[in-house]
Structure 1
Amino acid sequence: MEHLIQKVFIFTQRTNCLPIGPSSKFLSLAVCDLALSFGEGSDGNSSKRMSRPFGVALLLAGYDKLNGPQLYFSDPSGTFVRYKAKAIGAGSEGAQSSLGDSYSDTMTLEEAEELALSTLKQVMEEKITTTNVELARVTSDKGYHLASNEDVGAVLERLSTNVPAAP
């Protein structure tokens, strides 16, 4: 694992030299390549590579200056595809259907948060609470931000009272 962390550190240092920074697609490809190397031995010997990298599936969200918001899905084979909205994991078929029906490019961030949590609410077996779900935002001005339990609670409260998001 230490070897993988070193690769990420070196990659990050190199890409910071680019004049506008790396694109989300470029970063997604790098992460997919990294996920494929999870199966290598600790000495980096690819002849000891496992046939599959632990079944890793990732959703990668980012914002780049050229293309705006980006969302990529990487499957265990290392293949990556860009999506506007994507669900993975248990219940993903129903969640993906709901996202496909409700997502719009014109949604506000608050509306997108409500859609994400209402979709989870529909497909989760247990009741959705601030302790069993996390919400993160990726924006052009603040980058990545993990919402606090209070922020998640506020979105859940809006959902339960059917109060629309503030404009």
Structure 2
Amino acid sequence: MKLKRLQKMSYFLHIALKILSISSVIMAIIAVLMKLFSSKNVMINKLESDTIFYFQTELFVGENNLPYVEREEWILVGVAVFSSMILAYLLWTASMIFKDLAANFTPFSDITVSRLRRIAVLMLIYALVPQIIYSILHTVLIPGYSINFGLNMSFFFALIFYCLTEIFRYGASLQKESDETL
């Protein structure tokens, strides 16, 4: 009875994560379209309230930065789209784990471990790469430099998720050993 309930819950999570993944892609498309059709729709907000460690330094060379505001907004939209795509792929991968659990409830398999590792890597990319891309694009496209770097909770969740992946890898090896013994 409990197995059936877990399989039903896994199927529900599979569908919910797929919807969230598709919604993330749609939101990225909407953000680009809003920026294309009206430059007043993008708000620059660099407040990093959930970061534990945050470093920011900027230098603008010149007297007037108004010509570069539009360029900075496009950089922000590009980084947001990149982040949304990473998040969409992460959610899609997670939904595939729950799809397999709904079909045949075997959480300790090599494919599950592979997907969990992919999620851990995607979480690490999501935590670090957008900041690096923003800093590089801002420095290259706008006179002066801008370096922004912070470690927020997604970085620590990526590390925790990687540790959980190793636990699942050990569980998968035990499951394989148990199956071969029987």
Query: Is TM-score (shorter-chain normalized) higher than 0.5?
Result: no
Instruction: Name which structure has the greater RCO, CA cutoff 8 Å, separation 6+.
Output: 2
Give TM-score, length-normalised by structure 1: 0.29
Q: Which structure's residues are more often helix, by fraction?
A: 2
Which has more radius of gyration?
A: 2
Q: Which structure's residues are more often strand, by fraction?
A: 1
Give TM-score, length-normalised by structure 2: 0.27
